[in-house]
Structure 1
């Protein structure tokens, strides 16, 4: 487990399907789905194609702060489109740089044919990096103690 490992390693540790919603659904429906599934972002799909991404952050900034109604605003009106994506062979550190550069907290991960494999969050990446560092520290302790 290293920061140069592919992002697919993070996806292997995540359970469950990739959740999505249609652009014509209301933001309220999207929030209900996110709350029910305990997730922070949804892919937005239309006709089998990924057309956007909706996150809790989008809701906070584009609905609440703008005085709009989540019951009447559609997902398509506030989603990020096109979404910033990475492929499964992207490294964890590269994914983190992409998130920082584009100021996003969620990245859809696509296979080479463009099908969604999952979504990784900045929290997923930070957890991976921390675990990687902990393992390195353990190995160094073992080496120093002559337990290699």
Structure 2
């Protein structure tokens, strides 16, 4: 099983996009569109105070007929933030995501934000790992031990 640290390394970019709780939902959706991401962290300085996702926008703004330009992130963000450490495995992350019904997990190392992983990052890592195993088995079966 790959670790979160390995997934972040394979991802190549450790960029994490964030806004303050006083930013508007419109600003968040605009940033998500510009960066082609589905979630942003909501931060006060170095402290994570929430996560806002496309799902939050759909359910807490659109369905409630709120204005994205007048609604603040603090009013729609998920404030119970679940996070992982770099040493945790992709299997642990998948279990946590499934149990908590979330698709994004901040990665904290000694309380310091080092990245953000998505279910897509984890699936990509698992597929890569499975492809490697298949390739090794094919070499073994064919007698190619090099």
CA-based RMSD of the aligned residues comes to 1.0
Match of 2:125 in 1: 128
Q: CA offset at residue 16 of structure 1?
A: 4.8
Q: TM-score, normalised by structure 2?
A: 0.94
Match of 1:144 in 2: 141
Aligned counterpart in structure 1 of residue 95 of structure 2, from 94, 97, 102: 97
* DSSP 3-state at the match of 2:129: helix
Task: Give the count of matched residue pairs.
Answer: 144
Aligned counterpart in structure 2 of residue 78 of structure 1, from 76, 79, 92: 76
Q: How does 1:1-148 map to 2 (within 5 A)?
A: 4-14=1-11, 15-112=13-110, 114-148=111-145
Q: CA offset at residue 47 of structure 1?
A: 3.0
* DSSP 3-state at the match of 1:97: helix
Q: Provide the C-alpha distance between the structure 1 equivalents of 2:69 and 2:112, rounded to a whole number of angstroms.
A: 30
- Runs of at least 5 residues in structure 1 that lack an aligned partner in the other structure: none
- Runs of at least 5 residues in structure 2 that lack an aligned partner in the other structure: none
Q: Provide the C-alpha distance between the structure 1 equivalents of 2:14 and 2:5, rounded to a whole number of angstroms.
A: 15
Q: Provide the C-alpha distance between the structure 2 equivalents of 1:39 and 1:82, rounded to a whole number of angstroms.
A: 20
Give the 4+ runs in structure 1 shifted more than 6 A: none
Q: TM-score, normalised by structure 1?
A: 0.93
Q: CA offset at residue 13 of structure 1?
A: 2.3
Q: Provide, for residues 42-95 of structure 1, a one-character-per-residue CA deviation record: whole Å limited to 9, x for no partner.
A: 111013211011111111111111211111110111111121111111111100
